[in-house]
Structures are given as C-alpha cells and as structure tokens.
Amino acid sequence: MGIFSDAHVCQCLSRLATQKRHSLVTSSGGRHKTGLQFVESVLSLARGLLQLGLRNNDVVAISAFNSDWYLEWILAVAFIGGIVTPLNYRWSFEEARMAMVTVRPKLLVTDESCYHWHSVLRGDAIPSLRWHVSLSSPSSDVTNKCNILTAEMLVEQSVRFGSMNYSFATEGAVVICFTSGTTGRPKGVVISHTALIVQSLAKVAIVGYSEDDVYLHTTPLCHIGGLSSAMATLMVGACHIFMPKFEATLALKAIEQHHVTSLITVPTIMADLISSNRLKQSWKGNDSVKKILNGGGGLSDNLIKDATKLFPKAKLLSAYGMTETCSSLAFMTLFEPVLEASGTSLQMFAETNPSPVQTRGVCVGKPAPHVEIKICNDGSSTAGRILTRGPHVMLRYWDHQIPEKASNSSEETWLDTSDIGFVDDHGNLWLVGRTNGRIKSGGENVYPEEVEAVLIHHPGVLSSVVVGIPDPRLAEVVVACIRLRENWQWSDDSSECPVQSNEPFLSCTILQNYCREKNLTGFKIPKMFISWRTQFPLTTTGKIRREQVRREVMSRLLSFPSNL
C-alpha cells in the first residue's frame, strides 16, 4: 500500500476505545455514547457493509442532517477502504442526482431530510446505485416500495469476522467533497486520509482542541470546514454535541445545557447567534465557550466586538481556506481573552498585530505549519496568484487524473487557489481578490473584495457586494450594493438628508467621498451604489453568490434605464 498506509482516519478509534472508554464522546437526539460504544458502533457498521458487499474503492453517498450516525458512517466506510461522498441535503434532487452520476456511488444513505427523493430514486435515476439505506425509520410503505434498508438491518445481519483492520482506497482517498459552486457547477474534490489528518493536527495545534473540549456541531458535515473540524476534535477525544441543523436559539440552548467549549462559525452563523441572544431575557452559557473558529468569510469589526461580548472567555480565530486544500490554509487570532484579562485591551492587541483590513487587501494571518505558499506574479506588483502545495492539497478533482497545475516547472505541482494576494514582511498572507471575480474597468483590474473591505468599515454599512456591469466606454463599471445598518436611511439625493428624518443617512456621494478618505484608488471607487433591502444570496457555507447579485443588478438597471 506504500505511503498511504502511514495515515488512516480510523487510527483515532484506538484512542477512543481505551482512553475515552467510559467517557461521553457523542450526544445526539437523546442518544449518548461513550468512546467504547462509539467505536463498537463503527465496527459493527463496517462489518455490516462488508457483509452487504461493499468493497475497496466503492463510493458511498450520504445526504443527511448532522448526527452521531453520520460520523459513524464516515468512519465505517473509511474503515473498509470505501470513499464517502457527503451530499448537501439542501440540494434539489436534480442537483444531487448530477453529483451522484459524477461520482457513481454504490450505496446511498439518507434520513428524513431527503424523504422527497424517494419517489424519484427508483429506476435508472442513478445507474451505479445498488443499495439505499435510511438512517431514520421511514414508514414500512416507503421502505417496501423503494426497497430501502436501515442501518439496524445491516448491523443485525452482519457476521462477526475475526480481527478486523482498516483498509485503504486507491491513492489513499477517503472523501469526495463538493465545492460550494459559487462560480459554476460544484466539483467533486478528492481528499486523502493524510490531508484530513494533517489538517486536523494543524487545528489541534493552532486552535487548541483537547480531550476536555465539548464541541458543538454548528455547520454541516457535508462541508469541508465542518468535516475537518469534526475529525480534529474526534482525534483528541473531545465530546461531540450534535444538532440536526443550525438554528441560533437551539445552539444557544445547547451551549448552556452541555457547557459547550468550542464551535465553528461563518459570518451568518455568528450574526444569528448575536441577534438571537439579544432576544433572550437571560443566558448563562457564554462563559463556557473557550474556542471559536470562523471561516467562510471574514468577520466585520462590529461582529468581532459583538462576538467578544457574547463569548468573553473565548479565543476567536479566523481561518482562510477552501475545499481543494482540505479546509484551512491560514489562521489569524482576532481576540485573545488572556490578553484582555492581563489588562491588555483588544485595541492594543490589534495594534501589535497586522490590521485585518487595509486598502491593499484583507489580512488572513499566517499559513499553518504544514502549508507552503507561493505568490506568482509578473514582477510589476507584490500581489499575484496565491499557490500552495503540501500534504493538505486535494489528490485531484473526481474524474481528473491529476490536480490542476500552476507552476512553470514540470517538476513541481502547485495548486492555484484562484485568489490574488501577497505575503508581507512578517509572513502574513493578504487577500486582494479572486481572479474569477475581477472587474476590468478602463483597462484596470478591480477586485470586489478590496472595495468591500473599505465599505464595511463605514458605521452605516451592514454588508456590501461589489460587482461589475457592462459599459460601452470602460468595458465595465464598478457598482456597489449596500445593506444599511438598523436606523440608517438611504437618500437618492446625494446632498440632502431624507425629508422628515432625524436618522443618519447614506448616499452615493457620501460613500464615494468615504472611499476617497480611505485612499481607495479612483478607478476602484464605485460609480453607482444600490440600496439592497434583503439579505444577499448566499451558498450553504455563507459565501456570496456574486454572479446572482450581478444578474439582479442588471435586471434592476434595465427596469430603470435612467440609472445607467
């Protein structure tokens, strides 16, 4: 088996079965399992899968809410040398079908989140599919008509083999994770045992996960952020608290009830937690939380301040990464309560570290110890394409023989992240924008993220999305869509306050002047601002669907041509 035998995600089972033998490891839906009980469940399921006929390299697709069962399935499939494909339960069946046609699973695992798939799964919808297993208990009518097995059936019919040892799929592959699909159809990213373990060790070292942690699953296991953090906390023997899907009120209740010490967020989750807490009369869970890792986009200054008030004893970190790199490439500490307790204010802490935002870009911290970063540019600027290589990089895209190469040397293989950035003199990585989101205005490159990083610091701006729209003279012009903070108003008159209003207001002229004050280059300043009254369209990981925003902007402007 070669080098792949050196790392297997199921190596953590030995620790759980011994050191955590009698300690609580999972709590989900009223089920509570010790380390030994959890391991026995994984091995029983692995035996059932072998008895069913699943073998090395077979793909198992899972679409379900978060639960202890979900985690057990991932490990059981990995144990017998299979490959897990987590599917997003929020997808339509057609989106899921396209993903399954791509990866060709032999077995599909679902729960009540996907009952609506059952009626269309019969026939040749997925030609490769041989078995369908339900994690929950569908009605006998559904079970009979759709020929659905249950996990209990697999375990009951399994034959106890002699001593079992874990096996490997080809290349050491263990998971096929689909990207969020912000710029096109989601792609299947093949991730190795080694990548998951190295990523887990990095999070243990940087975030500080330990066996004393009580980890709340706030993000779906179908996303690489949720999956990699789950593996990190599993490896150290932490206790896992599962909620089917994120709901802010339920999360706050779980934090208080289980004395949760760690969780991960994306900006929308953090905002929902803060907003939900404001509606509660009293809440006693904020002192237990010690570690929060935020990904999927940066937190604004206001969100950071509100988060530190809600969780005053939590170390708050941000992470930058992507599915193709098995989650996080770089980490940055946003708040350190130890410094606060010693009399060092949060502001002073920020002054001794790089500012998270400058007009040059957004700082995402230093690369993790196992991550190698290279900036590829034409020599005319310090900024360029961010490349990375190392054990964290995906094996390939599914159905591709090798990962995309971005190096001029045939002897080196680097992954192009599609991000533009630079590394400063202190080794901090800065993001300027994305190559596929670049706006070309008057022959100059404008990266939306760079403009958004300036706008978000205005006290009246809740969030912004910058896009480029066609222009006969400049090719594209920069347009900013703005969501206002509570009690702020928008004025179409660029010079006067809205009639009969004592509330603060914003206008195109005010924001353009603000951008100039912040030294944003002239051609990057938006020529037009649009007041956006609803939430921006997001992917399930909280990333902006920029192209959808652009289409909506075009539609609005076509409806009101005087704005053009």
pLDDT of res. 91: 85
Question: How would you class 499 by CB atoms within 10 Å of its CB: exposed for 0-12, middle for 13-18, buried for 19 or more?
Answer: exposed
Q: Is the pLDDT of residue 564 over 60?
A: no
Confidence bin at 3 (pLDDT 50/70/90): very low
pLDDT of res. 161: 60
How big is the CA angle at 27 (ends 22 and 28), to the nearest 5 degrees? 145
Confidence bin at 442 (pLDDT 50/70/90): confident
The highest-confidence range among 75-79, 275-279, 342-346, by mean pLDDT, is 75-79
Mean pLDDT (the chain, rounded): 86
Strand order in the sheet with 188-192: 149-150, 131-134, 107-110, 59-63, 83-86, 173-178, 188-192, 396-397
Domain membership of residue 84 (yes or no) is yes
pLDDT of res. 562: 46
pLDDT of res. 200: 95
pLDDT of res. 64: 96
Higher pLDDT, 138 or 158: 158
pLDDT of res. 352: 43
Token pair 């601002």 is found at 529
How far is residue 533's CA from residue 145's CA, in Å, rounded to a whole number?
46
**Residue of 459, 455, 458 lying closest to 467 (CA atoms):** 455
- Is residue 398 within 8 Å of 190, Cβ to Cβ? yes
Q: Quick check: helix, strand or coil at residue 344? A: coil
Q: What is the pLDDT of residues 33-69, one digit of tens each?
A: 999 999 999 999 999 999 999 999 999 999 999 999 9
CA-CA distances (angstroms) from residue 197 to 57, 173, 219, 249? 20, 12, 19, 33
Q: Which two tokens mark 191?
A: 């991730």
How far is residue 319's CA from residue 49's CA, in Å, rounded to a whole number?
36
State which residues form the domain around 450: 438-563
Domain membership of residue 35 (yes or no) is yes
Token pair 């490349």 is found at 387
Name all contacts of 11-14 with Cβ < 8 Å and 24+ positions apart. 11/166, 11/197, 12/231, 12/234, 12/235, 13/39, 13/42, 13/43, 13/75
- Extended strands (E) in 351-460: 357-358, 361-367, 372-376, 384-389, 396-397, 415-423, 429-434, 439-441, 444-446
CATH number at 159 reads: 3.40.50.12780
Higher pLDDT, 201 or 122: 201
How far is residue 463's CA from residue 530's CA, in Å, rounded to a whole number?
12
CATH number at 518 reads: 3.30.300.30
Q: Is the pLDDT of residue 304 over 80?
A: yes
pLDDT of res. 1: 38
The conformation of residue 284, written as its DSSP 8-state character, comes to -
The conformation of residue 536, written as its DSSP 8-state character, comes to P
How big is the CA angle at 412 (ends 410 and 414), to the nearest 5 degrees? 115
pLDDT of res. 413: 86
Q: Which two tokens mark 164?
A: 């079992």
- Is residue 180 within 8 Å of 324, Cβ to Cβ? no
Domain membership of residue 411 (yes or no) is no
pLDDT of res. 294: 94
Domain membership of residue 335 (yes or no) is no
pLDDT of res. 338: 73
Q: Is the pLDDT of residue 28 over 70?
A: yes
Q: What share of the chain is helix, strand, coil (3-state, %, to 5)?
A: 35, 25, 40
Q: What is the pLDDT of residues 398-429, one digit of tens each?
A: 977 555 544 444 446 899 998 889 999 999 99
Q: Which two tokens mark 269?
A: 């989750």
Q: What is the pLDDT of residues 247-298, one digit of tens each?
A: 999 999 999 999 999 999 988 899 899 989 887 666 777 799 999 999 987 7
Domain membership of residue 272 (yes or no) is no
Number of structural domains (the chain) is 2
Confidence bin at 115 (pLDDT 50/70/90): confident
Q: Which two tokens mark 362?
A: 């957004």
Of the three residues 212, 245, 278, the one that is the final residue of a domain is 245
Domain membership of residue 382 (yes or no) is no
**β-strands 461-471, 31-34: how paired?**
unpaired
**β-strands 396-397, 31-34: how paired?**
unpaired
The highest-confidence range among 124-138, 285-299, 309-323, 437-451, by mean pLDDT, is 309-323
Rg of the chain taking only CA atoms, in angstroms: 25
**Residue of 96, 105, 116 lying closest to 77 (CA atoms):** 105
Token pair 């190559």 is found at 435
How far is residue 490's CA from residue 384's CA, in Å, rounded to a whole number?
37
This prediction has a pTM of 0.82
Domain membership of residue 75 (yes or no) is yes
Stated as kind and residue range, the H or E segment containing 478 is strand 475-484
Buried residues in 460-489 as b, exposed as e (16+ CB within 10 A): bbbbbbbbbbeeeebebbbbbbbbbeeebb
* Lowest mean pLDDT segment, chosen from 8-12, 354-358, 535-539: 354-358
Q: Is the pLDDT of residue 141 over 80?
A: no
% pLDDT > 90, the chain? 59
Of the three residues 196, 229, 245, the one that is the final residue of a domain is 245
Of the three residues 245, 267, 289, the one that is the final residue of a domain is 245
Q: What is the pLDDT of residues 161-171, one digit of tens each?
A: 667 899 999 99
Domain membership of residue 396 (yes or no) is no
CA-CA distances (angstroms) from residue 134 to 16, 61, 80, 84, 413? 26, 12, 20, 16, 41
